[in-house]
Chain A
Amino acid sequence: MRSSLMPLGPPVSRDRIIDTFPKWYTPDASLQLKEHFHGQVSAACERRNTGTVGLKLSKVVVVGDLYVGKTSLIHRFCKNIFDRDYKATIGVDFEIERFEIAGIPYSLQIWDTAGQEKFKCIASAYYRGAQVIITAFDLTDVQTLEHTRQWLEDALRENEVGSCFIFLVGTKKDLLSGAACEQAEAEAVHLANEMQAEYWSVSAKTGENVKAFFSRVAALAFEQSVLQELEKRNSARPQVGDGNLIRMEENSPETQDSKRPFSLGCC
């Protein structure tokens, strides 16, 4: 159904290949502390038995106040560019980013929403069905951090409870000195725990942590998708043709028999 959206282009670029499970930014505010893929997931990946996960797109919605740098963050990651000029996002934009995680192709569909109040009506229509919600704020502006609560609430209203991963991202890290940054992060980590979100500090200007952050997002979303797929398959009702109708054991002695004269001939 979504295959029409799958960009079946060239293989994914090298820096979009994720083999090891990406780590959290800070253990104080992290969604998962484990350092490896879920056992079932890596097993399924090895057997290339992940079903239709590779064809699916995971929806990521980025929300937050205007001018915190949502578009810059996405552009840094997807196009590796940084435009100094501020250009307000109108309505919504989106990018599709392809990954290869544990050998399985996987795509994130990143929806970049407008932060301006007047576009909220349009943007909020796109929150639904998100697997990942990224709430962004400006590390240099405490107000924007406080507003993330409201943004998250709006986004969660359109989604089922507990169905999304939530990330809290502080932007413009390059503008802060070490001490100021630590202080801002401490506050953000506190809020992240309250929101049950994972916290990250990034800078779209220098590119710091941007790739690591999105890799983490992709890996978590991927793992969830695979687990859901496996669960769905386990609970699926047995259907005609599912049983062990073709028994391979009967064939194996025959094949061994047919091999034997060959080995004799050799000796």
Chain B
Amino acid sequence: MADVESAEKLSSVSRPSEGVGGACCSEISTELIRSLTELQELEAVYERLCGEEKVVEKELDALLEQQNTIESKMVTLHRMGPNLQLIEGDAKQLAGMITFTCNLAENVSSKVRQLDLAKNRLYQAIQRADDILDLKFCMDGVQSALRNEDFEQAAAHIHRYLCLDKSVIELSRQGKEGSMIDANLKLLQEAEQRLKAIVAEKFAIATKEGDLPQVERFFKIFPLLGLHEEGLSKFSEYLCKQVASKAEENLLLVLGSDMSDRRAAVIFADTLTLLFEGIARIVETHQPIVETYYGPGRLYTLIKYLQIECDRQVEKVVDKFTKQRDYQQQFRLVQNNLRNSAPEKIEPRELDPILTEVTLMNARSELYLRFLRKRISSDFEVGDSMASEEVKQEHQKCLDKLLNNCLLSCTMQELIGYYITMEEYFMRETVNKAVALDTYEKGQLTSSMVDDVFYIVKKCIGRALSSSSIDCLCAMINLATRELEADFRGVLSNKLKMGFPATTLQDIQRGVTSAVNIMQSSLQQGRFDTKGIESTDEAKLSFLVTLNNVEVCSENISTLKKTLESDCTKLFSQGIGGEQAQAKFDSCLSDLAAVSNKFRDLLQEGLAELSSTAVKPQVQPWINTFLSVSHNIEEEEFNDYEANDPWVQQFILNLEQQMSEFKASLSPVIYDSLTSLLTSLVAVELEKVVLKSSFNRLGGLQFDKELRSLIAYLTTVTTWTIRDKFARLSQMATILNLERVTEILDYWGANSGPLTWRLTPAEVRQVLALRIDFRHEDIKRLRL
């Protein structure tokens, strides 16, 4: 008890002493010691005090050890004292010097600035003086140059004068010699006018005489006199005259040319080509002069003037073309023919040369316009390198307007418009002809019209492509799409609609025999009405050939699309057509490609027809014979079946015979589809008869064997796996093969393993019930 109390006392007392702080080092105060009465407590306190004393002594020792170092540090500090004073003095001096330098620098720079200003003014003054001197020099120079007929020199003087700052002239007037300079200026202005007149006159003379060096000489003077527009317009006038005379010459040559000439059929296209080449050559040769003496960005003006003449000449050529070739007349006839209201039909072959010529004409003008665009844009680019975006756009707009709205463009578009209609007519009529003249050669899968039609379509689209006009090409692709989808597909579809004739009784017994065989055999036997057989066989053959045709069409369309695509990438890479041209083209092409699928659908329809009219009626009786074979058999019969197959071998033989006929006259792809349809049919029909039969254990085994050989055979005739189609039948065979009803559970549900059941539980029960040796109660009791 006492211990606890005193401990409490100790702790309670020691607290204030802590609060007092460092003055009293010990935790135990004297009052506390005094208050202690027990010896034990005293001893304890004493011990603690001793401990504290030791700690204090250690601390004191440590402090004393440091004394030496501290003292040495103090000494060094004392030594540094005077140095610090020195530094302070130096620093003050430095600051003073810096301030002084700064002031000095400012003084100097302000003086430099003044000097600079003075220098600039001086330069200006010198410039002015120079200008005034130049002015005087020009005044004198012009006179003498004009006297000597040195027009280049005179123009150079005038150019110098025109370049002078107007204020300089004002300034020189104010000088002492004001009146004299005034007079001189007047002279100068007069000289300018005179020079302009002379140059214009001389240029006109040179133009008249066709003196190219003189023309070029004065052409170069115009810009010196600040007459850029006038110079260009006059020069192009001269060039236009040359273009015109050359073009007239060419046109006369054409009109007088022999129509049996090798190039006679495209003579107008050639004339246009000559015209374009002529203009291109002019641009080529004169561009450097214009660029050098008139600066970049002026080519547009020159070409603008030239294009007017070009349009005029093109109009003449096209006019003659229209007249000589009866273009309008032919177009009107074609239009009437298309509307079926024409008294006379145009032979499409007669249109061939004119269509080729029109596309060639358009291709040439596209090429020419592209050349102009390239030249003008690059010239603008150099001229506008410093110009704002607006100016650039303005120039681009001008360029577009010039090239798109020129008469050449419009005329060509008009010609192409007519061309499209005529080409459509050409295509339609030739396709009709190909269909009418359709022939089939023995040993071939398809008939002639497929190749012919695609040759025609390719030719027409190819011709449209050769015009280098994307609109024209796309329009032609659209028309071809229509022709193939509506008309040609219609032809094939009608042929298929006539159907595969149902076979006669004799045919069923013999299986389908190829047309030729039937004909031969019937002729030999002389039993049948050969005419009737012939027509049904022809109908059959026609049906099969049409199926092949449809398939080839679908293929051909895909090929056509691919070829067009690759042809046009070339065209687009040359930069033909606007930004939308490619998208337009792609869109039309995808419409064309979609027709390929339509043909594929038609093929499927045809195959379905074939399967239902020719295959199914034959296969069904063969399968039905399965019902007449008992599958409720004993060991003996089972062995007997082994030796004398009751059903499957004959069935396979029949199938093989039938399919071999088709194999010979159908393309491999269609034949594959047909066998696929056949296998589906066999699977479905066989399932039906199996569900009508009854089995015992050995019968089930027999069916399993039969199914295996059937699947093995069908696998050899088809290219893809048929296991999927026979999955349900195989599973039925598995069920029919069970020892006991409950054995099914080894294959069902969790035990099915990799097997996916294609039969529903109800169907499994139904199949189990086919086994006469399985009890109904057992089947009912199954938990599936």
Is B478 touching A126 in the complex (CB atoms < 8 A)?
yes
Known contacts A91-B413, A122-B475, A125-B479, A2 near B590 by CB under 8 Å: yes
B412-438 interface bits toward A, Cβ cutoff 8 Å, 1 = contact, 0 = none: 011011101100100000000000000
A81-107 interface bits toward B, Cβ cutoff 8 Å, 1 = contact, 0 = none: 000000000111110100000000000
Is A122 touching B590 in the complex (CB atoms < 8 A)?
no
Of A29-37, A113-121, A192-200, the one with at least 4 CB within 8 A of chain B? A113-121
Which residue among A4, A91, A92, A128 has the maximum number of chain B CB atoms within 10 Å of its CB?
A: A91
Known contacts A5-B586, A96-B583, A118 near B417 by CB under 8 Å: yes
A55-73 interface bits toward B, Cβ cutoff 8 Å, 1 = contact, 0 = none: 0010000000000000000
A5 and B588 CA atoms in complex are apart in Å by 11
B interface residue count range (under 10 / 10 to 19 / 20 to 34 / 35 or more)? 20 to 34
- Nearest CB of chain B from residue A210's CB, rounded to whole Å: 21
Interface residues of B in 69-109 (CB under 8 A from A): none
A261 and B462 CA atoms in complex are apart in Å by 74
Is A94 touching B476 in the complex (CB atoms < 8 A)?
no
Residue of B at shortest CB range from A96? Answer: B583
Residues of A within 8 A of B375 (CB): none
B587 within 8 A of A: yes
A129 within 8 A of B: yes
A245 and B482 CA atoms in complex are apart in Å by 43
B465-501 interface bits toward A, Cβ cutoff 8 Å, 1 = contact, 0 = none: 0000001101110110110000000000000000000
Is B417 touching A245 in the complex (CB atoms < 8 A)?
no
Interface residues of B in 588-621 (CB under 8 A from A): 590-591, 593-594, 597
Known contacts A57-B587, A94-B587, A240-B724, A121 near B420 by CB under 8 Å: yes
- Nearest CB of chain A from residue B117's CB, rounded to whole Å: 53
- Nearest CB of chain B from residue A79's CB, rounded to whole Å: 13
A57 and B593 CA atoms in complex are apart in Å by 15
Is A5 touching B584 in the complex (CB atoms < 8 A)?
no
A54 and B84 CA atoms in complex are apart in Å by 88
Residue of A at shortest CB range from B476? Answer: A125
B580 within 8 A of A: yes
| B413, B478, B591: the one within 8 Å of A90 (CB) | B413
Residues of A within 8 A of B597 (CB): 1
Residues of B within 8 A of A91 (CB): 413, 471-472, 475
A49 and B487 CA atoms in complex are apart in Å by 35
A46 within 8 A of B: no
Residues of A within 8 A of B482 (CB): 128, 158
A7 and B764 CA atoms in complex are apart in Å by 52
Residues of A within 8 A of B562 (CB): none
Residue of B at shortest CB range from A247? Answer: B760
| B413, B417, B481, B587: the one within 8 Å of A5 (CB) | B587
- We find that the number of chain A residues with CB closer than 8 angstroms to chain B is 24
Q: Which 7 A-B pairs have the closest CB atoms?
A: A91-B471, A125-B475, A121-B417, A125-B478, A121-B420, A121-B421, A118-B414
A5 and B580 CA atoms in complex are apart in Å by 12
Residues of A within 8 A of B281 (CB): none
Known contacts A90-B404, A92-B584, A109-B587, A121 near B478 by CB under 8 Å: no
**A residues engaging B (CB < 8 A)?**
1-2, 4-5, 57, 90-94, 96, 109, 118-122, 125-126, 128-129, 158, 240, 245
Residue of B at shortest CB range from A117? Answer: B417
Is B420 touching A125 in the complex (CB atoms < 8 A)?
yes
Residues of B within 8 A of A120 (CB): 417
Residue of A at shortest CB range from B757? Answer: A245
A118 and B418 CA atoms in complex are apart in Å by 8
Residues of B within 8 A of A57 (CB): 587
Residues of B within 8 A of A90 (CB): 404, 409, 413, 471
Residue of A at shortest CB range from B411? Answer: A118
A118 and B416 CA atoms in complex are apart in Å by 9
B694-728 interface bits toward A, Cβ cutoff 8 Å, 1 = contact, 0 = none: 00000000000000000000000000000011000
Residues of B within 8 A of A126 (CB): 474-475, 478
Residue of B at shortest CB range from A119? Answer: B417
Residue of A at shortest CB range from B415? Answer: A118
Residue of A at shortest CB range from B480? Answer: A125
Residue of A at shortest CB range from B331? Answer: A121
Residues of B within 8 A of A121 (CB): 417-418, 420-421, 475
